[in-house]
Amino acid sequence: LCYLDHAGATLYSEKQLANIFTDLSNNIYSNPHSHSSEFTKDAVDIVRYKVLSFVKTSPDQYSVIFTSGATHALKLIGETFEFNGGTLAYLEDNHTSVLGMRKFASNFRELKVEEAFNVLSNPADSNSELRNGKNGLFVYPAQSNFAGTKYPLSWIKTVKCEALNHLFATPENWYTLLDAACFASTNQLDLHQYQPDFISISFYKIFGYPTGLGALLVKRSSENALTKTYFGGGTVLMALSAQNVMIPKPIIYEQFEDGTISFLSISSLRHGFDILQTLNLTPDLISLHTFNVAKYTFANLMEMHHSNGTAVAELYHDTKFESVKTQGSIINFNLKRPNGNYVGYSEVKFATVLHFANLNGVHLRTGCFCNPGACQKYLKLDPDKVQNQFEAGHVCGDQHDLVDGSPTGSVRISFGYMSTFEDAD
């Protein structure tokens, strides 16, 4: 078995699972809303602290809100952020779940990658009197889940310094939502050095198990930018049945975690953190190892040619893997035939990527990886071409890999801390 889809979900270890189920066998975790649940509450609090420690911050600076995943975290911000007529701005290289946030904003603006680098290199002159109470929200990934590009975390500061006001007639008070789901799986997120207002993360991308669990990290000083309307069980101090009266709990994670949290999954996270510590694996070590494996693979793919001299692979990348600071452990490509035609990733015959991989026990990912902007950018798919592919029958997630000879998606391989150079070969 060769597992090359760590950006989709990394692998859990046998020791990790053994420790989890030993814990569950030896202890009783009751519903944290029950009076007899102090053991469960303490276990959850320990994990909250471990999450904050993992990203180099503390409860004084950030709150941890457990969610069903990174998408849920993004949705929560979309639902509760007080735009007040302000703008949702986002990088074109973003997850589909970020695009879905447009439904909550009156105005939205996509920034192309080159534009973002230009605009966010120059802070604007602050003029708070002209903002008129508008709040802007900029959303971008710390690392692209398409090509592994690492975007500057320094943008967080320049956004706060209102660099994006260069683009708008009316200045806005800007906040940053950092999607760290892909980045945090193999890199050190340092919230002591870089302090976005909101961060989304996913735990199965870091530990492999459990799935269905993520977190929204909220900077304490930015909590007042969020207003929650719906309230569920466990989030209130008092509610009246016959009247529209409710008093929320004072702590933000108590307000936002509607209903019973996934307390068994949360308690199992402790063993994910512990296994990394047992193996002496820091995020920085994981980052360097996975980068080197990916760099080796990238170089090999670049050197592969058919007998007539044409390239075997068309690679999609912004860097040439010169530095771990700008490139993660993801490689994205399409294969090509000697005559230059593309190899469809899901054609049902031996020569195709997906079929060949399945026959040989290789796990990889194909398609657009829930990142329409990056997919359309790298594959040079303008809106008309995307519409034509849709009318020809292609939809997200299908196996319709070529339309008129052009690819509708690509192949992605990605590495985790347990990946080896043998996997790359």
**Helix, strand or coil for residue 399?**
coil
Any residues with CB less than 8 A from the CB of 280 and at least 6 apart, and which? none
Determine phi and psi for 246, rounding to 5 degrees.
Answer: -155, 140
Read off the amino acid at residue 369: F
- Contact predicate 268/40, CB 8 Å: no
Q: How far is CA 401 from CA 77, 144, 201, 406, in A?
A: 34, 22, 30, 8
Q: Taking the CA atoms of the chain, what radius of gyration do you get in angstroms?
A: 23
DSSP letter for 56, please.
T
Active site members: 370
Any residues with CB less than 8 A from the CB of 16 and at least 6 apart, and which? 207, 208, 209, 271, 272, 275
- Concatenate the DSSP letters of all residues of 215-230 into one string: EEEEEGGGGGGB----
Burial of residue 376 (number of CB atoms within 10 Å: 0-12, 13-18, 19+): middle
- Concatenate the DSSP letters of all residues of 6-42 into one string: TTT--PPPHHHHHHHHHHHHH-----TTSTT-HHHHH
- Nearest-angstrom CA–CA distance, 18 and 412: 31
